[in-house]
Amino acid sequence: MKKFRVVHYINQFYAGIGGEEFADYKPEIRDGFVGPGMALTGAFGDKAEIVSTIVCGDSYFNENLEEAKKTILDMVRSVNPDIFIAGPAFNAGRYGVACGTICETVQKELNIPVITGMFEENPGAEMFKDKMLIVATRDSAAGMRAAVPTMANLALKLLNKEPIGASIEEGYLPNGTRVNFFDKERGSRRAVDMLLNKMAGKPFTTEYPMPDFDRVEPSPAVKDIKSVTVALVTSGGIVPKGNPDRIESSSASKFGEYDITGVNDLTADTYETAHGGYDPVYANADADRVLPVDVMRDFEREGIIGKLYNKFYTTVGNGTSTKNSKAFAADFAQRLKNDNVQAVILTST
């Protein structure tokens, strides 16, 4: 029995090359499976095999998009696979965007089926869930064992041109497609059953899940702004010239802490933006437009505020996951509290 030919795409971390320090790794193709490809191979059994694995660093892919797409597309074309699989990326933002982007490119240019896997909050999931099948995963590689069989099963269904069931049945992220079907019970009965189960504290599954948004109670107003220390925090990506901590332009995995003791103005020679989600020209010309250190210094001199905190915190909001954003805030908020900062001004783009 002839096996289906699979090409698998992974990043530098899952290839065992290294972490963030190797994120600029250029695309390369290897024979057979690598890293998580071993689990996929086991899930395929004798029905499919990974003939090649393509490895590419997350930063390289996202910062050299057209070149990376062309190079990887040529690699895939040279192997002539039956299907292209990327990831799973879990909640790794840049990895997820790369998986979605290269899957879309392969699907469009080579007309072969594709599949990937991500956590629902991965920015790549929102960008690509209506363009391909994205298996719903947990937020970390701890969910690899559960994700791989689902990916393999869906891949085989695509290869065999079998009908794909609803997302809740097959394990992929809802993609907005609605299909009519006949249920065993009519809607009114199902609704009443759900209501009774809810009232009785029994488990039930809604047929129309709603998004779950955080409800954050606002803090009390500052009573006397003239006597407090005020800090600046931004998701606009303002960093010292050269971006010393290499904060990513999209799907940030880190934030920066920078000292502004004695700094009265963020000049074009000393500061810039690392943000990849808006036109950087005006922010690079005068970073105070995003992080208003100059105005805050005026307020400080005029006694409008007590003083400006001597550090600012910065990251990039573009595509950054909710999980990472919460972790960043919890970290620097504690630092601000430890330094007795009583107020924070948050700026964006």
Same domain, 341 and 247: yes
Same domain, 112 and 18: yes
Domain end, chosen from 104, 136, 170, is at 170
Residue 183 belongs to some domain of the structure: no
Same domain, 127 and 241: no
Count of domains observed in the chain: 2
Residue 219 belongs to some domain of the structure: no
pLDDT tens, residue by residue, 138-167: 988 889 999 999 999 999 999 999 988 888
Same domain, 24 and 151: yes
pLDDT of amino acid 263:
96
Residues of the chain with pLDDT under 70: 1, 179, 181, 211-213
pLDDT of amino acid 212:
67
Residue 216 belongs to some domain of the structure: no
Same domain, 249 and 324: yes
Residue 129: how many CB atoms within 10 A of its CB?
21
Amino acid at 36: P
Residue 211 belongs to some domain of the structure: no
Domain end, chosen from 155, 170, 185, is at 170
pLDDT tens, residue by residue, 167-198: 888 899 988 777 676 778 888 999 999 999 99
| Residue 265, token pair as written in the block | 């103005």
Same domain, 86 and 235: no
Residue 188 belongs to some domain of the structure: no
Same domain, 117 and 246: no
Q: Cβ(113)–Cβ(36) under 8 Å?
A: no
- Helices marked H in the chain — which ranges? 37-44, 58-63, 65-79, 93-110, 123-128, 144-159, 167-170, 187-199, 281-285, 293-302, 322-338
Residue 213 belongs to some domain of the structure: no
Residue 182 belongs to some domain of the structure: no
The length of the chain in residues reads: 349
Same domain, 275 and 150: no
pTM: 0.68
Q: What is the side-by-side order of every strand in the sheet holding 343-347?
A: 256-259, 307-314, 229-234, 343-347
Same domain, 158 and 78: yes
Q: Cβ(113)–Cβ(86) under 8 Å?
A: no
* Domain containing residue 123: 4-170
Q: How many angstroms separate the CA atoms of 67 and 75, rounded?
A: 12
Buried b (16+ CB within 10 A) or exposed e, 49-82: bbbbbbbbbbbbbbbbeeebbebbbebbeeeebb
Q: Cβ(264)–Cβ(215) under 8 Å?
A: no
Domain end, chosen from 132, 153, 170, is at 170
C-alpha torsion sign, points 55, 102, 2, 171: positive
pLDDT of amino acid 211:
67
Same domain, 254 and 143: no
Residue 35 belongs to some domain of the structure: yes
pLDDT of amino acid 114:
97
